[in-house]
Amino acid sequence: MQIQWQSSFPRISLLAVCAALASGCTHGQNTIQPGRAHVFFKVQAASTVPTPLSGRLLIFVKQGEGDKGVETSEFRPEDTMVTAREVRDLAPGAAVEVDGDELAYPKPFSDLAAGNYEAQAVLDVDHTYSYSGRGLQDWISAVVPLPNWSAAGGGEPTLTLDHRPEENPRRVEMLEKAKAEAKPGAAQLEEFQSALLTRFWGHPMKIRAWVILPPGYDPHSKTTYPTAYWTHGFGGDIDGALIYGLRLRQRMVDGKMPPMIWVMLDESIPEGTHEFADSVNNGPWGAALTTEFIPYLEMHYRMDARKDSRLLNGHSSGGWATLQLEVNYPNVFGGTWSTSPDPSDFHDFTGPDLYAPDANVYRKPDGSPWPIFRDHGKVIATMEQFAHLEEVLGPYGGQMHSFDWVFSPKGKSGAPEPMFDWQTGAVHPDVVAYWRDHYDLAHIVETHWAERGAALKGRIHVFVGTADTFYLDGPAHKFEAVLNRLGADPHFTYLPDRTHFDLFRVDRDPMGLFDQIGAEMYATARPGSHWKPQ
């Protein structure tokens, strides 16, 4: 998962989002009362905008004053109201009306009590807000104060799209520093055009990665290295992969980690994260990685080029990605060290048992809500809140829709079949049956143990916090139980009181766990080497 809604939670190259957009209406607690006047906003394109504007128009409203920006926060999911509509070819100087009751989160705007509010409009030009927040290509309005405003008599606020978002200065600084360090012999960007993916999509498709080289790497020497294939969680991208990879390289420079090549893979696509899974919706990413990209890398870099030296590591959605690569390609990879992976046993999909009779991802059997986001013992948000917010932000690239694009069969419209009813939360058993057969890793390992067991035994390592922010310790326990029953010799570590975001911390070192992971990987690739940190 690793959802982080920020201006920097995971888009539209979709075949059929129109059906999802057409279903845009308020849900459950958002039901509009008959006879109540709707709340409208007027949004205009500034006359200085150079070309007509298209995209998903989002309007954010919250109580308060003096803020430089207004947007959602996963830590306070109901503090900000959001409404949306699609716009096409909005000419400079032209305006559209947005009905704040037709599609809204967390409730219709007409339910707002009188008070001091502030509003801001964002035009999500390429439909990426659900994955990465505001982008530099988007258009935004100024924050408009609405003092003593009420839904009943506050009039129609006007918001003008007249400038683009500014890039986060801290991110700019980090990326500039990383690119300055990405010199020959340290880091190399690879953008490999895949024949398999290009054939699937009908246009050129590339696998992208930063190859991080260990200190002293010499392309002309005979020395070869074990290789770790890493991938990020939901919300990550190729720039973040470089930043993270160079941090790992510095640990090698400092003698904290053994000398290895790290391939920092980008798994982000317009539909969310493809997780290097072979999917009827996203394409054969696993096959492309294992049969095209890895052979290419092993021809161009001094890699050991053997199973025991091809190792896997990833966090969150990347954790699930690396688990499934080990499970599905056990003769290619020599082991995975997956951290806080997304659910690997769908009997616990961050809480709900998808196989239970009348399963529902919003409500437990007793009617109480399923939580999805916690801060240790405190519930921050529910699954229903996350899903309804995501639907308003846009059904293309958010975490829940990303799961459908990876796991689901293709529907008649060309879009993936949804796993659950977005209005009620009711699980669709036929879709879940497809999920089970193709992507429930516990089920796959058990079903194929006879032919894969020997290659998988002792190869699965998982680290997760007992206070994981998204309750991912639950499915890890269930997967471990299946592996233990099979005699798979799994290595699961549950770190006390650690969350999704501080899992790697050892004492005051925020990435200290990588030293253990690196050492264990090296011991697998080079048995008897007895590498010791300096």
CATH of residue 488: 3.40.50.1820
Whether residue 92 has a cis bond before it, omega within 30° of 0: no
CB 14 within 8 A of CB 270: yes
β-pairing verdict for 53-63 and 80-90: antiparallel
Listed residues 106, 136, 166: the one ending a domain: 166
Q: Are residues 212 and 131 in the same domain?
A: no
How many Cβ atoms are within 10 Å of 315's Cβ, its own excluded? 27
Q: Is residue 387 part of a domain?
A: no
| pLDDT one-digit tens code per residue, 448-480 | 999 999 999 999 999 999 999 999 999 999 999
User: In this structure, are 156 and 57 located in the same domain?
Assistant: yes
Both 77 and 155 in one domain: the answer is: yes
Same domain, 265 and 333: yes
Whether residues 99 and 72 fall in one domain:
yes
**Is residue 409 one of the residues assigned to a domain?**
no
Q: Are residues 208 and 289 in the same domain?
A: yes
> Could you read off the pLDDT of 359-391 as tens digits, one per residue?
999 999 999 999 999 999 899 999 999 999 999
Q: Tell me if 402 is assigned to some domain.
A: no
> Where is the domain boundary, 166, 200, 216?
166
304 in the same domain as 335:
yes
Same domain, 194 and 305: yes
Domain boundary among 138, 166, 194: 166
pLDDT at residue 95 is higher than 90: yes
Which amino acid is residue 77, in one-letter code?
A: P
- 160 plus 207 within the same structural domain: no
Cα distance between residue 122 and residue 514, in whole Å: 39
Same domain assignment for residues 327 and 454: yes
pLDDT tens profile 255-295: 999 999 999 999 999 999 999 999 999 999 999 999 999 99
> For residue 187, what are the CA distances in angstroms to 4, 178, 184, 194?
27, 10, 6, 21
State the CATH number of the domain containing residue 115.
2.60.40
Q: Is the pLDDT of residue 201 over 70?
A: yes
> Residue 35: which pLDDT band, with cuts at 50, 70 and 90?
low
- From the list 491, 489, 479, the residue with the least C-alpha distance to 453 is 489
CA-based nearest residue to 351, from 501, 473, 481: 473
The verdict on residue 129 lying in a domain is yes
Q: Do both 149 and 229 map to the same domain? A: no
d(CA 197, CA 288): 7
Q: Where in the sequence is the domain holding 149, given as residue range(s)?
A: 18-166
Looking at the fold, whether 208 and 152 belong to one and the same domain comes out as no
> DSSP class of residue 309?
G
**Tens-digit pLDDT profile for residues 326-349:** 999 999 999 999 999 999 999 999
The tally of domains found in the chain comes to 2
Q: How confident is the model over 15-31, as a mean pLDDT? A: 36
Q: Quote the pLDDT of residue 465.
A: 98
* pLDDT bracket for residue 76 (50, 70, 90): confident
Measuring CA to CA, which residue among 237, 227, 318 is closest to residue 1? 318
Is the distance from CB of 338 to CB of 462 less than 8 angstroms?
A: yes
For a pLDDT cut of 70, what percent of the chain falls above it? Answer: 93
Judged against a pLDDT cut of 70, whether residue 65 lies above it is answered with: yes
